Amino acid sequence: MMGIRSIAVMLAASLALVAGLSTTEPFRTFMPGLIEGAWMTVRIALVGSLLAVLFGVAAALARLYGPLPLRWLARAYIEIFRGTSALVQLFWLFFVLPDFGISLAPFTVAVLTLGLNVGAYGAEIVRAAIGAVPRGQWEASTALNMTRGQMLRRIILPQAVVAMIPPWGNLFIELLKATALVSLITISDLAFKAQEMNQTTFKTIDIFTLVLLIYLAISLAITIGMRLIEGAASRGLARGRAH
């Protein structure tokens, strides 16, 4: 796996490239609009990722330890949102839900769809990571008379989290890329701004090269962030492994 330093170098290079290009014509004219769009993309990705973690953890715990009806519900949620297209989910929430009397703001629909979609994949990650904690940890906590909840919270999840972080990083990047879909429900994200500018100026190469670099920079930033979180979460566990 690539070291955090080389990723940081790539991030710096792509940012430098964006900054360098943005001082020259014709890139300069597009830059403010694209930055605005990029900010929207980042906000959607952040809120969407947060929701994805919430949905993922909740669905995994419900599926593993919930009462039977809840287990089925979690199972259905995971299968439905993994098994159907994110674009159709987005349209369904945006165009169909209002027919049932529920009209949500475009931003809400965007983060909810992405959160639900990625959360369904995340649920399986959480489930696998919990399953990977050795059975002896459960047994030791039982012998210490902990409740199910105490075991999960204090013993199992802190260990499972370490194993979850790299696959979640992948999902966050998937989510970032999927944010481009929200341009189809009237949100002025990076992809939307790019198309809008392309239609008025026809500077396709310049615009989409810049947009590519901006997406790359955001995704590299996510990778770096996840590496830092991984380092912090595995402090106790990793310390010994090195010895």
Partner 1 sequence: MTLDRATPMVKFAGVTKRYGRLTVIDGLDFAIAHGEKVALIGPSGSGKTTVLRMLMTLERIDGGVIWVEGEPLTHVERGGRLVPADARHLRRVRGKIGMVFQHFNLFPHMTALKNCMEAPMTVLGLPKHQAAERAAELLDMVGLAGKKNHYPSQLSGGQQQRVAIARALAMRPKVMLFDEVTSALDPELVGEVLNVIRKLGAEHDLTMLMVTHQMGFAKEFADRIAFFHRGKIEEEGKPEEFFGNPKNERTRQFLRAVLDAV
**Dist. CA 116–CA 183, nearest whole Å:** 18
From the CB of residue 216, how many other CB atoms can be counted at a distance below 10 Å?
17
- Identify which range of 5-13, 57-65, 137-145, 183-191 contacts partner 1 by CB under 8 A: 137-145
Does position 84 bind partner 1 by CB under 8 A?
A: no
DSSP 127-154: HHHHHTS-HHHHHHHHHTT--HHHIIII
Does position 144 bind partner 1 by CB under 8 A?
A: yes
Q: Binders of partner 1: how many residues, by CB under 8 A?
A: 23
Can you tell me which of 26, 131, 231, 236 binds partner 1, judged by CB under 8 A? Answer: 236
- Identify which range of 14-22, 44-52, 139-147, 174-182 contacts partner 1 by CB under 8 A: 139-147
Can you tell me which of 85, 142, 201, 204 binds partner 1, judged by CB under 8 A? Answer: 142
Does position 14 bind partner 1 by CB under 8 A?
A: no
> Helices 190-201 & 204-233, crossing angle to 10 degrees?
170
Q: Which whole-number Å values give the CA distances from 243 to 1, 2, 66, 87, 239, in the listed order?
A: 21, 22, 39, 48, 7
The two structure tokens encoding residue 20: 């360098």
Does position 67 bind partner 1 by CB under 8 A?
A: no
Coil, strand, or helix at residue 202? Answer: coil
**Comparison of 69 and 240: residue with beta carbon closer to partner 1:** 240
Decide if 123 contacts 55 (C-beta within 8 A). yes
Least CB distance to partner 1 at residue 131 (A): 17
Does position 155 bind partner 1 by CB under 8 A?
A: yes
Binding site for partner 1 (CB under 8 A): 134, 136-137, 139-147, 150, 154-155, 158-159, 236-237, 239-241, 243
